[in-house]
Chains A and B, each alone.
Chain A
Amino acid sequence: GEDVEQSLFLSVREGDSSVINCTYTDSSSTYLYWYKQEPGAGLQLLTYIFSNMDMKQDQRLTVLLNKKDKHLSLRIADTQTGDSAIYFCAESIQSGGYNKLIFGAGTRLAVHP
């Protein structure tokens, strides 16, 4: 079946690195995504990784993909208070000409001084 799992909560100190983990089940997923949701807002696409890559870096964000273990992680370097939000992992499944996204329940990141 299709399932994406994430831990629900992560607390870090400002300036430290945050690592948010995700596991997924569909080995045929072509892309995996990280979205960010701030209070009262919709989901904002942060980054994505193609399934034949094992790492992607974009400024403070580093995505690691272990396809064998179906494990995805998002590392945020030098975490700031503005990074406090809910982070969603999603896998894509080809369905009827479009990419169907299966989301995890989200990890709430709290950044404290």
Chain B
Amino acid sequence: ETGVTQTPRHLVMGMTNKKSLKCEQHLGHNAMYWYKQSAKKPLELMFVYNFKEQTENNSVPSRFSPECPNSSHLFLHLHTLQPEDSALYLCASSPTSGGAHEQFFGPGTRLTVL
């Protein structure tokens, strides 16, 4: 257990559906991240929130919409996705002061878009 939880663990959705992924951390971290992990590709950083403010949007299509209501919770809202969006979506959190700022990851949500 890393202290970062994600729900749901698995999600199957059609291209016209709207769904949301949830991430929660109980580590007192100020930064939270969404990553996309596709087969045989490096992890792709999607969004970064630092003290609830979005500090990075890595050219992510608008069909992915993040929300960070507080430092402990992060959402990824999904709508009109494409089959190529099928992947493992990982959430992470990290401190922003002192030391290595190591990122702690959740178990991920395995998303399949039909």
Contacts of B56 in A (CB 8 A): 95-96, 100
Q: Which residues of B contact A106 (CB under 8 A)?
A: 42
Inter-chain contact B50/A45, CB cutoff 8 Å: no
Question: Which B residues are CB-close (under 8 A) to A99?
Answer: 94, 100-101, 103
Of B4, B31, B90, B105, the most chain A CB neighbours within 10 A belong to B105
Provide the bound-state CA to CA distance between A45 and B94, in Å: 12
Q: Say whether A98 contacts B96, CB under 8 Å.
A: yes
- A87 is an interface residue with CB less than 8 A from chain B: no
CB pair B100–A98 under 8 Å, yes or no, is: no
- A98–B54 CA distance with the chains assembled, in angstroms: 12
* Interface residue count on the B side (C-beta < 8 Å): 26
A28 at the binding interface (Cβ < 8 Å): no
The stretch among A12-20, A36-44, A59-67, A72-80 that forms the contact with chain B is A36-44
**B55 interfacial by beta-carbon distance below 8 Å:** yes
Query: For chain A, which range describes its interface: under 10, 10 to 19, 20 to 34, or 35 or more residues?
Result: 20 to 34
Interface residues of B (CB under 8 A from A): 2, 4, 6, 31, 40-43, 45, 48, 50, 55-56, 90, 92, 94, 96, 100-108
- What residues on A are CB-neighbors of B40 within 8 Å? 8, 105
- A31's partner among B43, B92, B100, B107 (CB-CB below 8 A) is B100
A97, B94: Cβ atoms under 8 Å? no
Q: Evaluate contact between B106 and A42: CB separation under 8 angstroms.
A: yes
Are B2 and A42 touching (Cβ within 8 A)? Answer: yes
* 15 sample A-B contacts, Cβ–Cβ < 8 Å, listed by A number: A8-B40, A31-B100, A35-B105, A41-B108, A42-B2, A42-B6, A43-B105, A44-B2, A45-B103, A92-B100, A96-B48, A96-B56, A102-B42, A103-B42, A106-B42
Query: Cα distance A44–B101 when bound, in Å?
Result: 14
Residue of A nearest to B49 (CB): A98
